[in-house]
Chains A and B, each alone.
Chain A
């Protein structure tokens, strides 16, 4: 058998030099006259080990990482094609502590298989959920998803099954499934990883959603900052179409479903569902007032399921293994698993899929290993640019939608950004306002004007101009934005601002400036 070498083609691995490693391995193979098959897999998500190269041996996979092009010659010299020891040797990848501690349901195949091999996908349980769905009544599929307890992984946490039921129950000549892949939150990359590493699972989830609700057309709206994910989804959709997974007869059934990939154009607000729909229609990505709900009047005025990538990618395993299996994981009303993305100034950064319920401290300190800089952790921002900054004092908060809400935070798309003690929280609060000002769609006043005024007030505070007055003003402004904005952009910007102010008041008292002698 020809040896198989797995080198990730995931953007994160590419950013760390995976292509250069692949090139070095290719030329070393050629120079030595050794035959081997190079497979470009996705990433398993342990980015501190990327580029992580794996070889398939008689006894299973053996991983090496992080591999640099300069390591390649010595890897061959020590016989890595048969899994021999080397200073980069990591052993069985499934036993690497960061990976072994996870519960991989949605990401079971990500980083393991060739993302564009439908055979490899099927060998590891792929298409089982869709096959089952083609034999079920739409209402039964919806019930299965509802009973699994799956909630929208984009951030809002709305029960996915309820959304689907509304679309199923709304009669129309045409319905749509829209996948929100406008993953704009800093600290998040789960959508990108699944699209690059296991694109068929998203296609399968969307096809199941189509059958369940009576929709025949799906759109995947991917942000333009993800060129590799766009290419991967286009390629996978073409393969799925050719294999009859998509098209006029899904897996030979009477159901039709097809997918089109669309690319965003750099507007963060288009991650908001109604703004995304307007953008897909070819308009300015302005937020719509609700009602009507997208489930009643969505894309082109038709009933539309709009779900995040991870929500849809979690559906195949629910259909395959049953609602009870999925529901069994988790805590309280947060059921199943959540791909936590550990990012920023952190030692062991990456994607960690686990059942809900780990504490923030466990995630940051134990799994993440503290800061990359080696300095103490000062704050972690959970849930992207609209998420709250948590101090160490709140590290006992369990990762669960309700527990975070109870502490004036949100888990959002489950990204965690770690900051060390050099972070200036006044600067971070100002950035939150500035970001809102840059990205506001401009439709509602609290967001459009409030964010501008917020930047100015915080600038005055930084210059120590009537600080007490500025603090009262920013608090009042945040209140107005929170309750008066049309969507989460203006409505949630107060979370990072107020949490920074509440938990790190010392940063909002500027150092006394010496009076200039005139």
Chain B
């Protein structure tokens, strides 16, 4: 598991992200995206810094962070595999694909492998519905998942 930075360091790095985005109209979501990009998750130590800068209560910032599926409370693995579980992919057997991958990786959805190599997340539509079942591995799309492609994914995240 990746080491988590100290809280003072989180505060400093968060402050510099805020500085870049504070001029935007409605800057909270861009800031949170920036923080997650920086740390791989949204550390709870970042929330009071953001709240202070935007003149919001900590509860309001927490409310926003917890509302959106994208923002993680814990660091993700080195790879993030988002597996589509929406209707189009269901019609092409995404349930079985998910079962196979969970078994091969030894984790359930929203979990990270013990060696920190990969986080598995369900996603509801990637807009790849004409090549279902589909996934996004570290932002790169993969369509028509079959046993061969599942094997390739597992090999890639393990290396």
Across the A-B interface, the 10 shortest Cβ-Cβ residue pairs: A282-B28, A15-B143, A349-B130, A343-B129, A186-B86, A265-B68, A266-B69, A47-B130, A15-B141, A344-B91
Are B91 and A420 in contact, CB atoms less than 8 angstroms apart?
yes
Known: A186-B125, A343-B132. A283 touches B90 (CB 8 A): no
Complex contacts, A415 vs chain B, CB 8 Å: 88, 129
Are A11 and B128 in contact, CB atoms less than 8 angstroms apart?
yes
A16 to B63, CA, bound (A): 39
Complex contacts, A192 vs chain B, CB 8 Å: 127
Known: A344-B91, A344-B132. 4 other contacts (CB 8 A): A15-B143, A282-B29, A345-B132, A385-B86
A12 to B144, CA, bound (A): 10
Q: Which of B13-34 contact A (CB under 8 A)?
A: 24-30, 32-33
Chain A, residue nearest B36 (CB): A265
Are B88 and A343 in contact, CB atoms less than 8 angstroms apart?
yes
**B68 CB contact (under 8 Å) in A227, A266, A341:** A266
Interface size class, chain B = 35 or more
Q: Which of B130-159 contact A (CB under 8 A)?
A: 130-132, 134, 136, 139-144
A350 to B70, CA, bound (A): 28
Min CB–CB distance A468 → chain B (angstroms) = 28
A228 to B136, CA, bound (A): 11
CB<8 Å pairs between A and B, sample of 12: A11-B127, A14-B140, A48-B130, A187-B125, A281-B26, A282-B64, A284-B63, A284-B67, A341-B130, A343-B130, A344-B87, A441-B67
Chain B, residue nearest A351 (CB): B130
Are B134 and A344 in contact, CB atoms less than 8 angstroms apart?
no
Are A186 and B131 in contact, CB atoms less than 8 angstroms apart?
no
B126: CB under 8 A from chain A?
yes
Chain B positions near chain A (C-beta within 8 angstroms):
24-30, 32-33, 54, 63-64, 67-71, 82, 86-92, 123-132, 134, 136, 139-144
**B71 CB contact (under 8 Å) in A47, A226, A265, A419:** A265
Are B129 and A189 in contact, CB atoms less than 8 angstroms apart?
yes
Chain B, residue nearest A196 (CB): B127
From A12, A15, A279, A341, name the one whose CB has the most chain B CB atoms within 10 angstroms: A15
Are A225 and B125 in contact, CB atoms less than 8 angstroms apart?
yes
A372 to B71, CA, bound (A): 36
A226 to B124, CA, bound (A): 12
Min CB–CB distance B112 → chain A (angstroms) = 17
Complex contacts, A420 vs chain B, CB 8 Å: 91
Complex contacts, B127 vs chain A, CB 8 Å: 11-12, 183, 188-189, 191-192, 225-226, 229
Chain A, residue nearest B28 (CB): A282
Min CB–CB distance B156 → chain A (angstroms) = 14
For A405-429 the 0/1 string (1 means CB < 8 A from B) is 0000000000101111001000010
Known: A189-B128, A189-B130, A341-B130. A372 touches B92 (CB 8 A): yes
